[in-house]
């Protein structure tokens, strides 16, 4: 249900993008970890009656030679088609195709025959002509044998060859034509016809040293010319490249220089315009849903704990900011959601004057959760510092900020013992005067005065993250989180 909510709104935009006439080459751009693959898988699963989709993951191509990559592309396409139960018809070679196949498989025979064709001085050409005729007979015999095989047998032989000899540089043009024939039959199969889509995924994960070599290979497939017409090599209706365009362009300039024409390079992957995958609102809602369903101690969810009066100190806001700034992936959040979390519900005492308090009643509970999600204190603290440096904007943080202020003043600085007296509050090495709001029914309602201007202080997102990280560091120093 969470995944469906993530893709519903964006699906409408992407569906409209697919319907644009002539939009056969699409660059699907989005930040790493924002759910691009999940979206595309779910989108085309919902539309499987309209599209036959093949996903290629070129990450493992990076260790292969260019010749092998070309073979592996065919191999992966065939495996995907066969896994979908595509029914293959009988396919016969033409004379030209039989010659090409024979010469590619038996180059030494060609050389031997050519040497025989060279007549000695004064000798007749009769023997040479006879040799050519013999070679043609061998080609025709090869053609006859191949045509006796079904498409399944041809493909099976090819797959076996790739698996047993991964370093072969030979490309089988017959296989290319079989793939093309299969795809064309899918696109023109009467009432059952579906558009065919090739999705080249996970380019973000390829080593920068190999990414453009891989892209150049795919470029040759996309810009394939046949009978003077530019099309893609296998005649897919749509070819979709999936990556973060901004990041890819940055890598391009790093590799080829700041003045290199990145726009011109990437234009060949785009028929109309880049599709920018922006699902920030959906991610925000998904974060709330995922966090509310995280199982903690006593088989209760965090959502249940909040309903029973537990405070929230803005951890969900921090998580969303980390995702938007590429410090945390939505994939990590999903994985975290799938494993029950057993947080210890402990009583702690932060100063000698204050009674013990349950960890779930103070920021420790949420910060412990986020620390686990980020893989430890150091990872989380460094990520928070980067949020501060980039001055990221966080909406609706004020209530969480006030809760953090209340914790620091009441639980650490003994504000609760001071009644209506004012206290000093240190934030980013600046001292503010804080006092309780008069006649306020809200327990944690404070008035923070900026002494320099004599007016009420309005905190920024920067202040909120700073205070959050400051309290986080306190818990780490006290060895309450790891």
- When divided into structural domains, the chain yields a total of 3
Given 255, 276, 297, the domain boundary residue is 276
Q: What is the rounded CA–CA span in Å between residue 384 and residue 400?
A: 16
State both tokens at 77: 């396409």
Q: Same domain for 114 and 237?
A: no
Q: Same domain for 295 and 230?
A: no
Q: Same domain for 240 and 297?
A: no
pLDDT string in tens for the chain (482-residue length): 556 666 777 888 899 999 999 888 999 998 877 778 888 988 999 898 899 898 988 888 877 777 778 778 888 888 888 877 765 554 555 666 565 556 666 655 655 555 555 554 444 555 555 655 666 677 777 777 667 667 777 777 777 665 445 344 334 456 677 777 777 777 776 556 788 898 988 887 888 778 888 888 887 766 654 444 456 677 888 999 999 988 888 888 888 888 888 888 888 888 889 998 876 777 777 777 777 766 665 566 665 555 444 557 888 888 888 887 878 877 777 777 666 666 655 666 655 555 566 666 678 878 888 888 888 999 999 999 998 888 888 888 888 888 888 777 765 554 444 445 556 666 766 766 776 666 544 445 666 776 666 677 788 888 899 989 988 988 888 788 88
Closest CA to 5 of 273, 194, 358, 287: 287
Q: Which residues pair with 26 in a beta bridge?
A: 240
Tokens 């990437």 locate to 266
Q: Same domain for 356 and 430?
A: yes
Q: Same domain for 370 and 398?
A: yes
Given 242, 276, 310, the domain boundary residue is 276
**Three-state DSSP class for residue 244:** coil
482 domain residue, yes or no: no
**Three-state DSSP class for residue 337:** helix
Q: What is the rounded CA–CA span in Å between residue 11 and residue 309?
A: 38
Q: Same domain for 180 and 263?
A: yes
Closest CA to 28 of 228, 201, 146: 201
Q: What is the rounded CA–CA span in Å between residue 167 and residue 165?
A: 6
Q: What is the rounded CA–CA span in Å between residue 91 and residue 458?
A: 74
State both tokens at 164: 């047993």
Q: Same domain for 111 and 85?
A: no
State both tokens at 113: 């025959």
Q: Same domain for 76 and 7?
A: yes
Q: Are strands 25-29 and 423-427 parallel, antiparallel or unpaired?
A: unpaired
Q: Same domain for 347 and 371?
A: yes
> Please, where are the H alpha helices in 223-273?
245-256, 262-267
**Residue-number span of the structural domain to which 287 is assigned:** 280-477
Given 276, 305, 323, the domain boundary residue is 276
Q: What is the rounded CA–CA span in Å between residue 238 and residue 241?
A: 10
Q: Same domain for 352 and 234?
A: no
State both tokens at 356: 């013990």
pTM: predicted TM-score of the whole model, two decimal places = 0.60
What's residue 27's pLDDT? 93
CATH of the domain at 192: 3.40.50
CB atoms inside a 10 Å sphere around CB 43 = 17
């Amino acid at each position: 249900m969470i995944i469906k909510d993530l893709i519903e709104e964006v699906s409408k935009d992407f569906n409209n993008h697919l319907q644009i006439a002539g939009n056969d080459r699409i660059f699907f751009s989005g930040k790493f970890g924002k759910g691009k693959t999940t979206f595309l898988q779910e989108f085309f699963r919902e539309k499987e009656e309209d599209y036959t989709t093949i996903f290629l993951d070129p990450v493992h191509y990076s260790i292969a030679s260019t010749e092998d990559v070309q073979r592996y592309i065919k191999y992966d396409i065939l495996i995907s088609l066969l896994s979908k139960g595509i029914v293959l018809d009988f396919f016969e070679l033409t004379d030209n195709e039989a010659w090409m196949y024979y010469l590619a498989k038996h180059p030494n025979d060609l050389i031997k025959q050519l040497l025989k064709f060279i007549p000695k001085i004064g000798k007749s050409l009769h023997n040479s002509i006879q040799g050519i005729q013999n070679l043609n007979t061998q080609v025709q015999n090869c053609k006859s044998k191949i045509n006796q095989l079904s498409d399944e047998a041809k493909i099976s032989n090819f797959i076996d060859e790739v698996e047993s000899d991964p370093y072969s540089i030979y490309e089988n043009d017959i296989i290319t034509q079989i793939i093309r024939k299969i795809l064309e039959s899918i696109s023109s199969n009467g009432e059952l016809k579906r558009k065919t889509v090739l999705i080249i995924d996970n380019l973000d994960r390829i080593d920068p040293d190999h990414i453009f070599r891989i892209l150049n290979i795919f470029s040759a497939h996309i810009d394939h010319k046949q009978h003077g017409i530019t099309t893609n090599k296998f005649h897919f209706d749509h070819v979709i490249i999936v990556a973060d365009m901004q990041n890819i362009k940055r890598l391009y300039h790093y590799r080829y220089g700041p003045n290199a024409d990145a726009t011109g390079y990437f234009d060949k992957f785009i028929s109309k315009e880049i599709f920018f995958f922006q699902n920030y609102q959906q991610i925000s809602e998904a974060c709330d849903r995922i966090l509310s369903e995280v199982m903690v101690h006593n088989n209760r969810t965090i959502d249940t704990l909040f309903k029973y009066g537990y405070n929230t100190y803005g951890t969900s806001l921090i998580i969303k900011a980390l995702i938007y700034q590429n410090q945390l992936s939505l994939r990590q959040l999903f994985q975290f959601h799938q494993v029950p979390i057993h947080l210890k519900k402990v009583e702690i005492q932060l100063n000698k004057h204050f009674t013990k308090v349950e960890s779930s009643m103070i920021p420790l509970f949420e910060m412990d959760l986020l620390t686990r999600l980020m893989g430890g204190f150091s990872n989380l603290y460094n990520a928070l510092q980067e949020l501060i440096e980039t001055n990221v904007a966080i909406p609706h943080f004020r209530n969480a900020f006030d809760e953090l202020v209340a914790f620091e003043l009441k639980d650490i600085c003994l504000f609760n013992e001071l009644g209506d007296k004012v206290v000093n509050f240190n934030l980013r090495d600046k001292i503010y005067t804080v006092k309780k709001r008069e006649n306020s029914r809200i327990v944690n309602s404070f008035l923070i005065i900026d002494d320099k201007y004599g007016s009420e202080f309005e905190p920024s997102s920067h202040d909120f993250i700073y205070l959050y990280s400051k309290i986080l560091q306190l818990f780490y120093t006290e060895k309450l989180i790891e």
